[in-house]
Chain A
Amino acid sequence: MTVFLSQSFTGISIGAVLLLIALGLSLTFGQMGVINMAHGEFIMAGAYTTYVLQQSIGGAGVSLLLSLPLAFLVAGAMGVLLEWLLIRHLYARPLDTLLVTWGVSLFLQQLARDIFGAPNVQVRAPEWLTGNVRLIGGEHPFTLAHNRIFILALALAALVSLALTLRVSPLGRRIRAVVQHRDLAEASGIATARVDRVTFFIGSGLAGLAGVALTLVGPIGPTMGTNLIIDAFLVVVVGGIGRLRGAVIAAFALGVLQAVVEYSATVSVAKVTVLVGIVAFLQWRPQGISTLRTRSLV
């Protein structure tokens, strides 16, 4: 029973990490159609921001909290730069964005290596994030780790803010208008190019946020992004395009599936199972869990 409980929580916390790294993508890929392979490097930028901040101001707790907005800005700025330099020339060729941003990701990795050195760097976690809450003791304890709770909360907070922004703010309305009908939006006086840039800013900024969270659970180094990018894309693909709801369901479903299979088999088997499961799922629902219904000839 406790095994079941703790694995469920593990699955949910894996799902929270997946959701955090995929939220930004569900905007840039899901809403704009840009296949940004450098998304992983924006996550890396967020993580390094935390590192730099901690190096310069010390206190683990303060620097972690401060780096949340700062990493959002840093990664967002990088995203805007990328959009302005390259992506905006490629909106007509979405598949090419994959190759171009792959080049960008190679570039950023090497840059990180030259700035921060090839070895991983260390970010100290604040005291209040290192322990755990013991709900059930005994031989098979059920514990909730503080850092996992923090990441879950952060993921949900990011999700809610994003959903609210998209749903009720004027900016969100403009973003949705552009996504749904670029020409009509433009005809209604929306500066679509500016909206694109802002959307990309938010999407990349969310990657930075994910980077901060990942310093609590994973390594911080030049290649940290490459390990995450495929998972992030799979979440968005399974979730379906254009809807946050799908991404949320997909992230938690994949997380729990991974945790369950992993417990009874090996990690590799779990990964392969998840991947094959995704392929099979897309047979059943090629457009993902949740889709924007249209009447176009697709």
Chain B
Amino acid sequence: MSTALRAPRARRVRRRGLAALALVLAGTLALPACGAKAGEESEGPGATADISEDTVKVGLLNSLSGTMAISEVTVRDALLLAIEEINAAGGVLGRRIEPISEDGASDWPTFAEKSEKLIRQDGVAAVFGCWTSASRKAVLPVFEQNKALLFYPVQYEGLEQSPYIFYTGATTNQQIVPALDYLAEEGVDSLYLVGSDYVFPRTANKIIKAYAEAHGIEILGEDYAPLGSTEFATIANKVESAGADAVFNTLNGDSNVAFFKEYTSAGLTAETMPVVSVSIAEEEVKSIGAQYLEGQLTSWNYYQTTEGAANEKFVAAYQAKYGEDKPTSDPMEAAYTSVYLWKAMVEKAGSFDVADVKAAADGITFEAPEGLVTIDGETQHIHKTNRIGRIGADGLITEVWSSDGPIKPDPYLKGYDWAEGLS
């Protein structure tokens, strides 16, 4: 290349540029001279809540955009309903709750960013939200470092017990294990496992396999589809040719729609090969279509049809606020309940202080739409009743079986012999 291409002034700039570079790097290297070493006890800031005479702020952290918005928007709606009701009834400790809603955008780092913003900048007394396990794992360090409270309203895979999270959805022994008990009772001898490729289905299936081994149930196949996958022809073929007694379905979101459409096309029905789903609630039934789901089974702690005055009130209030055709579902109910549980904890503690609220948690009860729930202070989960439901032609789910009263939460399945060595 001809040297004429090289402009003379470029060379001068270059030298100066290098000098500056050296300076900056030297400065940078000299800087990290202070701060705690790893392992040293360094007190995190411990964010202080911004509570005035007449208001207290809480954060709502749900995906309002992106792929998860499908599910999470309804949770936000349920949270807002609970807050509205509590405010109408005089608030918490005489203070009106002021909700601050943030969009997690279906993106885990954004969840972490927004939770930090809610805690550090807005000074919220508690945060309600998150759906996917990934988003919960992403925000967990933020809550632990800032000593702030998160209420997580979705059934999940267990194996977690953060001191700063209250889990108001089911853990595995309140959803998956009872569903297996039910199937065993019904005489199911073989299962096919279908799930989305992420932490909940994989962990759930590990539990199912351990259970199956101990109870003489044969697992005929196990398939995972990437999140958001909508091509299930092959999996339906595999399920059909395996010929199991039942299918255990841990697919998430969109994938369920494609899976059930394919399942029906393959000529499989609830009579020939029932599917037990743990991520399909009323909202999903509505979007998949009852024509594909009629007769299939679900395992939850709450259905729109669950009996009781508390639920009638909840469903009526929700439909009055958001529309007559809007169904209520388990995660929405758990979210709704979580706000009331927080209120009860705060009132028992007589303060919004996180340590006091946590200390007051054990034994708090609430007459929730799903029935009486009790906080287990040790695990920070709640006692919940399991209900197996059957999906009807009208899109509603009716209970066909329930556990004997609320089940004590056991996130690490310590109380089950067959689950040894799982965690």
Contacts and interface: CB of A to CB of B under 8 A. Distances in A.
Contacts of A289: none
B197 A268 contact: yes
Interface string B186-198: 0000000000010
A180 interface: no
B261 A217 contact: yes
A199 interface: no
Nearest to B71: A119
B226 A7 contact: no
Interface string A255-271: 00011001100111001
Given A3-B241, A125-B291, A262-B234, A145 B266 contact: yes
Nearest to B65: A110
Contact of A259 (B69, B223, B233, B265): B233
A13 B258 CA distance: 14
Residue of B71, B197, B284, B289 contacting most chain A CB atoms (<10 Å): B289
A146 interface: yes
Contacts of A268: 197, 224, 226
Contact of B70 (A110, A131, A216, A223): A223
Secondary structure at chain B's binding surface: helix, strand, loop or mixed?
helix
Contacts of B288: 120, 122, 219
B254 interface: yes
B227 to A, nearest CB: 10
A245 interface: no
B218 to A, nearest CB: 17
B225 interface: yes
Contact of A219 (B65, B223, B258): B258
A216 B225 CA distance: 19
Nearest to A144: B265
B73 A119 contact: yes
Contact of A130 (B197, B230, B258, B265): B265
A119 B322 CA distance: 14
B237 A6 contact: yes
A267 B265 contact: no
B408 interface: no
A123 interface: yes
Contact of A119 (B226, B228, B283): B283
A120 B234 contact: no
Which one of B234, B240, B243, B254 has the highest number of Cβ atoms from chain A below 10 Å of its Cβ? B234
Contacts of A120: 70, 254, 257, 284, 287-288
Interface in B10-69: 64-67, 69
A193 B348 CA distance: 72
Which A-B residue pairs are the 10 nearest by beta carbons? A120-B287, A145-B265, A219-B257, A118-B73, A218-B230, A10-B233, A118-B69, A219-B254, A262-B234, A122-B289
20 contacts: A14-B233, A17-B231, A118-B74, A120-B284, A120-B287, A121-B287, A131-B267, A139-B243, A145-B265, A148-B233, A218-B254, A219-B254, A221-B254, A221-B287, A222-B69, A223-B70, A227-B228, A227-B229, A227-B254, A263-B234
Given A139-B241, A267-B197, 8 more contacts: A3-B241, A117-B73, A118-B72, A119-B73, A217-B262, A263-B234, A267-B223, A268-B224
Interface of B: 64-67, 69-74, 197, 223-226, 228-231, 233-235, 237-238, 240-241, 243, 254, 257-258, 261-262, 264-267, 283-284, 286-289, 291
